[in-house]
Amino acid sequence: MKKIVVLTGAGISAESGISTFRDKGGLWEGHNVYEVASPEGFAKNPKLVLEFYNVRRKNLLDVQPNEGHRALVELEKYFDVHIITQNVDDLHERAGSSKVLHLHGELLKAQSTRHPELIYEWKKDLNPGDTCERGAQLRPFIVWFGEQVPMMEQAMQVSAQADIFIVIGTSMVVYPAAGLINYVEYEAPKYIVDPKIPEVYNVPNVHFMQAKATEGVPSLVKRLLANEQSRPD
C-alpha cells in the first residue's frame, strides 16, 4: 500500500472558522504573538496567556471539520495516510483521520510547567491554580516561539517514506515544518493546494493547485483515488 504524507497548515482549518495564526501586523487576535505564544510571554503574564487559549479552545469546540478534512479520510481506503499538521486543533481527528502527528501541540491538552511529561486531556478553561498531580501550574500544550519542536524528527522520518506528499493551506515559510518537503524522495510526486501558491525552490515533481482546501482537496483526492483504482492488480 502506497504511503501518502499530508502536511497541513492554518488554511485548511480557517474554512471551519478557526482564526489563522497571525496577520500582517504580527498580531494574533489583536495580541503581539510573543505576548501569547512564547515562554517569556507566559512568565510575564500567565493570566493573559491562559485566557487567550481559553477563548481559542471554546472556539474550537464550536466548529466542525470541513470538506477538506473529510476528503483526506477517504484516502485511507486505498493508501497508508499520515497527516502532519501545524494546527493545534483536533479537526483531522474528528473528521476520522487515524494517523495525525501534531507538530505544534494540541489545544485540547494541558501540560505541566515543571514536569513536561505530564500531559492531560483538557476541554474546559485552564486557569491560574490548575496544577498537575505534582503541584505545578499547568500550561497549554502548545509549542511556543523559542521552544523545540519535539515531533520534528518523527515528522522528517515519515516524510522521507512518502510515495506521495501533499501540502495544504500553509505558506511554507514557517520552519522547521516548511523544510519537510525537502526530505521527500526525488521521484515522489508532490502536490501543493492553496489559494496563494507559496514559493518553493529546488523541489522536483511539484504540482500546484491554486484553490481553497474545501475545493482543491476533494478534487485532488478524487483524482488520486481514480488513479489507484485504475491500476492493474
pLDDT confidence of residue 21: 61
User: If you count them, how many residues does the chain have?
Assistant: 233
- Taking only the tens of pLDDT, the chain with its 233 residues reads 999 999 999 999 999 999 766 555 545 667 788 999 999 999 999 999 999 999 999 999 999 999 999 999 999 999 999 999 999 999 999 999 999 999 999 999 999 999 999 999 999 999 999 999 999 999 999 999 999 999 999 999 999 999 999 999 987 777 788 899 999 999 999 999 999 887 777 788 999 999 999 999 999 999 999 988 777 66
| Domain locations in the chain as residue ranges | 1-16+65-104+149-233, 19-62+111-142
Q: Which residue type does 124 have?
A: K
Q: Which residue type does 53 have?
A: Y
- In CATH, which superfamily holds the domain spanning 19-62+111-142? SIR2/SIRT2 'Small Domain' (3.30.1600.10)
**Residue 16: strand, helix, or coil:** coil
Catalytic residues: 104
CB contact at 8 A, 44 and 122 = no
Assigned architecture for domain 1-16+65-104+149-233: 3-Layer(aba) Sandwich (3.40)
CA nearest to 104, candidates 34, 8, 35: 8
Strands 138-142 and 105-112: antiparallel
Q: Which residue type does 98 have?
A: S
Task: Report how far residue 99's alpha carbon sits from residue 212's, in angstroms, rounded to the nearest whole number.
Answer: 23
Asked whether the domain spanning 19-62+111-142 has the same topology as the one spanning 1-16+65-104+149-233, the reply is no
CA nearest to 72, candidates 208, 158, 171, 191: 191
Output the nine-digit C-alpha cell for 99.
Answer: 494517523
H helix intervals, the chain: 10-14, 33-36, 39-44, 46-61, 67-74, 91-95, 152-160, 213-229
